[in-house]
Amino acid sequence: MDVRLEPWSESALDLLRRINIPQMRRYVGGPESEEELLARHRRYLAMPATGRSCMFAVLLGDEMVGSIAYHQRDWQGQQIYEAGWNVLQPYQGRGVATAAGTALIAIVRAAARRPGAPHTLHAFPSVENTSSNTLCRRLGFTLLGPCNFEYPPGSGSLMHSNDWVIDLADSGPPPPRTATAPAHQEA
């Protein structure tokens, strides 16, 4: 399976619109208005300049089939990396998210080697999102338990999530043998 991550670009706006449907956004507050979507797209484009985050389009062959990101944030008084992802419905259940997640974890492990960088990667899927919780387990995250998690950040809106974590200093489990995902290389 040819799954790879490509840094977010102007051409990914169409992907963002394809993700912005009730079925894909049901666990994170529902679809956004066009104005909110364009603001999100601009934030994604600006992420690499911060040196603390990056959004990627997930490609299967040459087709954009999802998104995956990491960003640094404060969680319970500590700096952490947080991951989040989406895979379009026709591509779910085919190993795309596992391959993309494996590639992202490798990227974040490299970022964690920088001085002062966080040493944990968390994911906060809704407790009701069975697919994302299963993916966390498959990727080697450890479940810390349920929590109330503000999403989107700064909104004051809380979602009942599971807190999953990976210690980035640990090499973790070997990647799945059924999928390959070349790691993104920083320029």
pLDDT in tens, 106-148: 999 999 999 999 999 999 999 999 999 999 999 999 999 999 9
* Percent of the chain predicted with pLDDT > 70: 91
Q: What is the pLDDT confidence band of residue 171, given thresholds at 50, 70 and 90?
A: low
**Could you tell me which of 95, 84, 8 has the C-alpha nearest to residue 60?**
95
Task: Give the type of residue at 30.
Answer: G
Number of Cβ within a 10 Å radius of residue 175: 18
Cα-based distances in Å from 149 to 146, 159, 180 = 9, 5, 32
pLDDT for residue 177 is more than 70? no
- pLDDT of the residue at 151: 77
Cα-based distances in Å from 34 to 11, 23, 41, 109, 167 = 16, 17, 10, 34, 37
- pLDDT of the residue at 27: 73
Instruction: Give the mean pLDDT of the chain.
Output: 88
Domains of the chain: 3-167 (3.40.630.30)
pLDDT for residue 176 is more than 70? no
- pLDDT of the residue at 26: 78
Higher-confidence residue of 169 and 154: namely 169
3-state secondary structure of 94: coil
* Percent of the chain predicted with pLDDT > 90: 75
pLDDT for residue 179 is more than 80? no
Residue range 18-62, pLDDT digits in tens: 998 878 787 787 888 999 999 999 999 999 998 899 999 999 999
6, β-bridge pairs: 57
- pLDDT of the residue at 172: 53
Residue range 63-103, pLDDT digits in tens: 999 999 999 999 999 999 999 999 999 999 999 999 999 99
